[in-house]
Structure 1
Amino acid sequence: MSQIYRKTISVMDKFVPGKLQPLWQHPAGPKTVFFWAPLFKWGLVLAGIADLSRPAETISPAQTVALAATGVIWSRYSLVIIPKNYSLFSVNVFVAGTQLFQLYRAVSYQMNEGKKTSS
């Protein structure tokens, strides 16, 4: 599989315009997993945004905390690795942000439900 990948990249090298060469040759550029992993992780951000329309009672606080924690941890990690991966940083900030907002919604709902039952 890696031979196929290397041959594909060597063919594509010929078609990348000069202005895009710095991005193409970057240690965290499209030739590496450091580019593609964050790109696909944007799917989690899109799913989190889509979940904003879900009723708050269906939100799993445990899952939300886990996703928010991974977002925070990976955000930090992306800034201490070499090369720094700002693409990974940005996607994880958004993962953490959407999940923290979801957690806020879930906790607010649970607190309001608790007030209703104690009244």
Structure 2
Amino acid sequence: MAAAIKALNAKIRSNKYTDYFCSTHFWGPASNFGIPLAAVADMSKDPEIISGRMTGALTIYSAVFMRYAMAVTPKNYLLFGCHFINCASQITQGYRYLSYWNFGGREQAMKAKEITGGMAEKAMEKAKDVVGK
């Protein structure tokens, strides 16, 4: 059995593409891509739920690992790409957070809700009048 596993490993390692596909240089970043995908998906959500501390921590984390991806031998471009996307997404989330909490975005959102809330109430009253007639 050990000889069969050794032969299979030698067969995988003899081809550079299967060797890369079976390495941590591929599977580490591939499994890590969930973080930037979640960050991109969160961009359509309300900025009120963004955690400023977590966004800052993830930005620094991704910047450090972008540097690490270029420092290892051989360079891991897939890991670099994963953390580049995450860093860019987190910076965007950080901008949304600051814009909402520090630069008047919250007040604008509240005014917009008041305006649309009033319009919705008027529409409901009109609908009740139409149904009542």
TM-score by length of 2: 0.67
What are the Cα deviations for residues 49-70 of structure 1, in whole angstroms up to 9, with x where unaligned? 1101110111001001111111
Cα separation, 2, equivalents of 1:10 and 1:52: 45
Distance 1:34 1:61, change over 3 A: same
Decide which of 16, 21, 38 is 1:22's aligned counterpart. Answer: 16
Aligned to 1:84: 75
Cα separation, 1, equivalents of 2:7 and 2:88: 35
Structure 1, unmatched stretches of 5+, are none
Decide which of 50, 54, 61 is 2:41's aligned counterpart. Answer: 50
In the TM superposition, structure 1's runs of 4+ consecutive aligned residues that sit over 6 Å from their partners are none
Structure 2, unmatched stretches of 5+, are 109-133
Structure 1 position 113, deviation (Å): 5.1
Cα separation, 2, equivalents of 1:70 and 1:87: 16
Larger radius of gyration: 2
Distance 1:47 1:114, change over 3 A: closer
Aligned to 1:112: 104
Residue identity (%) = 28
**Residue correspondences, number:** 105
Structure 1 position 8, deviation (Å): 9.5
Cα separation, 1, equivalents of 2:6 and 2:40: 34
SS of 2:33's equivalent in the other structure is helix
Cα separation, 1, equivalents of 2:85 and 2:47: 20
Cα separation, 2, equivalents of 1:8 and 1:54: 50
Decide which of 53, 78, 81 is 1:62's aligned counterpart. Answer: 53
TM-score by length of 1: 0.75
